Amino acid sequence: MPEMIRNIAIIAHVDHGKTTLVDAMLKQSGIFRENQVITERVMDSNDIEKERGITILAKNLSVHHNGYKINIVDTPGHADFGGEVERVLKMVDSVLLLVDAFDGPMPQTRFVLKKSLDLGIKPIVVINKIDRPGARPDEVVNLVFDLFCELNANEEQLDFPIVYSSAKLGFAKRELSDESSNLEPLFEMIQKRVAPPVVNPDAPFQMLVTSIDYNEYIGRIATGKIFNGRVKAGETIVAIDRQGKQTRGRISKLLGYEGLKQMEMAEASAGDIVTIAGFEEVGIGETLASAADPQPLPYVAIDEPTLSMNFMVSDSPFAGREGKYVTSRNIRDRLMKELRTNVSLRVEDTDNTDTFKVSGRGELHLSILIENMRREGFELSVSKPEVIFREIDGVRCEPMEYLVIDVPEEFQGTVIEKLGTRRAEMVSMQPMDGTNRLEFVIPARGLIGFRTEFLTDTRGTGVMNHTFHEYAPYKGPIVGRKNGVLISMENGETVAYSLFNLQDRGILFVAPGTDVYEGMIVGQHAKENDLVVNACRGKKLTNVRASGSDDAIRLTPPNVLTLEQALEYIDEDELVEVTPKSIRLRKRFLDANDRKRQEKTRK
């Protein structure tokens, strides 16, 4: 019955405990057997989510409690995956807004809360991690209230209920002074304060598709909430796209959620969240409707991408050595497959048949795609990320980010100075227990390459978070990387003797015994210009030995860049070569003469 269904999404900033809270709710709802081995963060299903401890894809599950069926959607907390959150909010009737009792509201908290308030959703605020040292729950409640006011919440939304919890220890309480050993107060709050879905089970069938997946056995599957009517497995229904075009199809599988598992259903009715298979082509935001009376639901618009980069076929001398899929057809097919499920992504063909322009919501969004591709056996080259400019009322505008930095007092001067050169404007500064919270509005261009510099300047003690703010008029040029690079002059294997002599010239990116080729970047030059070096030259051996100079060579360990660091580091005339085993930096033109020619034409 719809009145016994509660549809909720858990939204929060990254690392505020959403997935851990879902774990605790599952354990206390009796989903698992007593002797069952349960992994931590059970909802983080793919390898990258487990490794990084972040949620990338929104996941559905359901729990039964006191006769109620609670459908829960665990959403990503990182700003780059905001597209996942936006479409999920159309499926639910309320949200649990999780806020860390120490950190308070953060950039992504602002973003997801604004989206939910705009849809008229009345959130339940959960102040999580109240067991954390330095927790300040009362102060955080006031900050959350200020945020609601700032985002123009209406009176009903401002009267939000509050639950205090520790997802890790598995308890929740209505008041800080209460005694509690379980999440019962949270379950009661959901049952009492979340409205049942407003639906009509007797009207013609309508379902809004909010996520798409692909199954090798049953093809494309569409997940969403049934807004009206009933539907049966085997029934013929209609898919209506955004232009109003209708496609008939038969439901080959109707799946519902019981705990973490998808179960086959004979029939589903309004208010429930289900998955339907049977259509070859169905997109996010489209409507599945009754064949007898097909009525479309309003289309869900997703915010546009703000960053783009070129994905190219690798033309390096090592192309095809480590990867299984290397041709433009392989790369194109993989990108088209990604478009089916990744709503915030855009892929365009370019003048060059071997190059594709891929646009996304941020560096992390695009780097996760590249990381998935290399794990699947793809080999490709990618260019420096560039922001997407827009013309608004005849003015050239660029994306701005809302940046929040927590930094110890001793480093704040350096951070403010560095951000000043990147065209950042300070919005506020608040002292917090030995650290200061600095808030800025900064061009998205200014953040490219800043994270590594920031961690070095703050000796790893600073924390930075950012989310898309708005498009604003172009702020002027920003100085990029200040140092040049060390470029290999020949193909071969690096030798310790050569690297020892080169380490005075800058910071090395390669260890002895690494295969390199002409035009590959082997390190960062200490000066502003690029320097062509020989990293493969061995020492000529003779019978003469000199005490002192023939001692064992001591090399500084190389600075091996991760994929995100490499994408941030490269300049416009450089590429990152990505293979299943290696991440290499290289010049776009490998031959030194070609580079000189290109430089002259540019001038």
- Any known ligand binding at 19? yes
Measured CA distances, 566 to 114, 126, 544, 556 (Å): 33, 38, 43, 20
- Any known ligand binding at 190? no
User: How far from each other are the two terminal CA atoms of the chain, in whole angstroms?
Assistant: 71
Please state whether beta strands 307-312 and 380-383 pair in parallel, antiparallel, or not at all (unpaired).
antiparallel
Measured CA distances, 246 to 149, 243, 286, 293 (Å): 43, 9, 10, 12
Beta bridge partners of 181: none
- Any known ligand binding at 109? no
Q: 277 and 239 in contact (C-beta within 8 Å)?
A: no
List, as own/partner pairs, every contact residues 154-163 make where C-beta atoms lie below 8 angstroms and the sequence separation is at least 24, other chains included: 156/122, 157/117, 157/121, 157/122, 157/123, 160/97, 160/122, 160/123, 160/124, 160/125, 161/124, 161/125, 161/189, 161/193, 162/124, 162/125, 162/126, 162/127, 163/124, 163/125, 163/126, 163/127, 163/189
- Any known ligand binding at 530? no
d(CA 53, CA 208): 30
d(CA 422, CA 436): 20
- Any known ligand binding at 129? yes
- Any known ligand binding at 247? no
Continuous segment of H or E residues that includes residue 412: helix 412-421
Who's near 477: CB < 8 A, 6+ residues apart? none
- Any known ligand binding at 393? no
- Any known ligand binding at 202? no
- Any known ligand binding at 17? yes
Measured CA distances, 346 to 18, 226, 577 (Å): 28, 28, 21
d(CA 327, CA 162): 54
- Any known ligand binding at 16? yes
Name the phi and psi angles at 304, rounded to 5: -75, 155
d(CA 464, CA 401): 12
Beta bridge partners of 576: 382, 585
d(CA 303, CA 291): 31
d(CA 118, CA 151): 9
CA angle at residue 478 from 475 to 483, to 5 degrees? 175
Q: Which residues are annotated as a binding site?
A: 15-20, 128-131
Q: Which residues are annotated as a binding site for GTP?
A: 15-20, 128-131
